[in-house]
Amino acid sequence: MKAKKLLSAALAVGMTVSLAACGGGTEDSAKDGAKDSGSGDGKTIVFSTNVVGGKADALEAACKAFEEETGNVVDFQAPGSDYEELMKTKMASNQLPDLFTTHGWSVARYSDYLMPVNDQEWAADIDDQIKGVITNADGDMFVLPVDIDIAGLICNMDVLKDAEVDVDAIKTWDDFAAACDKVAAKGKNPIHMGGKDSWPIGQFFDWAAPSFYVTDDANSKAEDLKGGKFDTATWESVAGLLDGWVKAGYLNEDCLTADYNSDIESLASGNTAFCFYGNSAIMDAKGVNPDANLGMIPVPSASAGDEPSLIAGEDIAVGVWKDTEVKEEAVELLNYLAKPDVMKTIAEAAGSKAGLKTAEAEIGDIGEYLKKYETVETYPYFDREYLPSGMWDVMCTTGADILSQKDGAVISAAKVMEQNFNDKYMP
């Protein structure tokens, strides 16, 4: 069955807590969780995360506050785009960080390496909207969901207003293209994509692919994907969507050399209409320009017979390595992140609803948009739910070929995806 849920926007005003930033370690730091910190009886806890920008800053600040409260030392590591490959290497040697974020894979990829958290006091307060996503077939959960990631397309509302785009009329990708034409006619970037970082390219496919494979009940191929059958022709349509946008001039000319920060700068400054990111990017853009009028819209459908949708899944989800030598201290840090005021602050930095019912994040205009779209159906991130592990990099690489307009890139992308799907699929 397709995983469908209705978005519930139970967002309210909470208490704000200010946490001072701390200096983080690097991915090359020596891993020795049991070593003394050099001050009192505190231990060093290695905490590695995939998140970047304001979310990483908020996590790092929480770690500093934890250090001051407990006397332990947190070696905070945020390697950015290198995170996934580094974690694969660490899994192969079974030498993982004491705590780490699971970037959407707490069950499928990391559950064998993580300590179950069902017995933690806060487990009973996990929001129902995320609980099913982080629970395995045996009912075990392995992470603290600091927030809940609910995403559509983020956009600069002033750019769209100036181009006389009615955002409520964007129902299909054809409608989206018509909006891009209006934006381009005003001399602005319809879409900004930071292809240098690679992962923003993968974001496009995670956003667009469900509308071709999953969301349309009449033409859904979700069960085929889960059963090991990859429809190559449909992927040509997904890849062709991006290819058509490049040819139409909808993307920034430097899409292969621009990075995430470039996307945020362009969106915040009013030079770009749309970006394929979650709501945390809105928070980052607000940091660049607090006066920017930013919002979100649901992901358009691929056909007129379908409806727009939203994406839901893990964002900042933190687990404890089951073989850590500092289990007591690592669990203590995990429980610290579960404190309502701490979780609230991090969730607000992410622009997301908090993952526990005990914490209420105040996220301003984003909350209004979540409320506006509370009846829009949500679907899991495409690669996490419908593709075998290891396909993310394939989407990014083949997408880069499309951005560079290599001959036959669309057909090649579909064939490469099919081959990798068949090679990696495990019943």
Task: Indicate if 115 and 175 belong to the same structural domain.
Answer: no
**Spatial CB neighbours of 298, under 8 Å, sequence gap ≥ 6:** 152, 153, 308, 309, 310, 373, 376
Give tens-digit pLDDT for 269-286: 999 999 999 888 998 899
Whether the per-residue pLDDT at 21 is higher than 50: the answer is no
Task: Indicate if 282 and 323 belong to the same structural domain.
Answer: no
Task: Indicate if 138 and 221 belong to the same structural domain.
Answer: no
Task: Indicate if 98 and 206 belong to the same structural domain.
Answer: no
Of 283, 285, 82, the residue nearest 198 (C-alpha): 82
Task: Indicate if 170 and 82 belong to the same structural domain.
Answer: no
Give tens-digit pLDDT for 220-258: 999 999 999 999 999 999 999 999 999 999 999 999 999
Give tens-digit pLDDT for 258-271: 999 999 999 999 99
Task: Indicate if 238 and 363 belong to the same structural domain.
Answer: no
Task: Indicate if 220 and 328 belong to the same structural domain.
Answer: no
How does DSSP assign 354-379, residue by residue?
Answer: ESBTT-----THHHHHHHHTTTSEEE
Task: Indicate if 246 and 197 belong to the same structural domain.
Answer: yes
Task: Indicate if 102 and 178 belong to the same structural domain.
Answer: no
Of 398, 110, 85, 112, the residue nearest 238 (C-alpha): 398
- pTM of the shown model: 0.75
| Spatial contact of 11 and 359, defined as CB atoms under 8 Å apart | no
Return the SS3 of 400.
Answer: helix
Task: Indicate if 185 and 204 belong to the same structural domain.
Answer: yes
Whether the per-residue pLDDT at 149 is higher than 90: the answer is no
Task: Indicate if 245 and 393 belong to the same structural domain.
Answer: yes
Structural domain total, the chain: 2
Task: Indicate if 302 and 244 belong to the same structural domain.
Answer: yes
**Cα three-residue angle 175-181-184, rounded to 5 degrees:** 145
Whether the per-residue pLDDT at 329 is higher than 80: the answer is yes
Write out the residue range of the structural domain in which residue 249 sits.
151-312+374-424
Give tens-digit pLDDT for 393-420: 999 999 999 999 999 999 999 999 999 9
Confidence at residue 38, expressed as pLDDT on a 0 to 100 scale:
41
| Spatial contact of 283 and 365, defined as CB atoms under 8 Å apart | no
CATH of residue 353's domain is 3.40.190.10
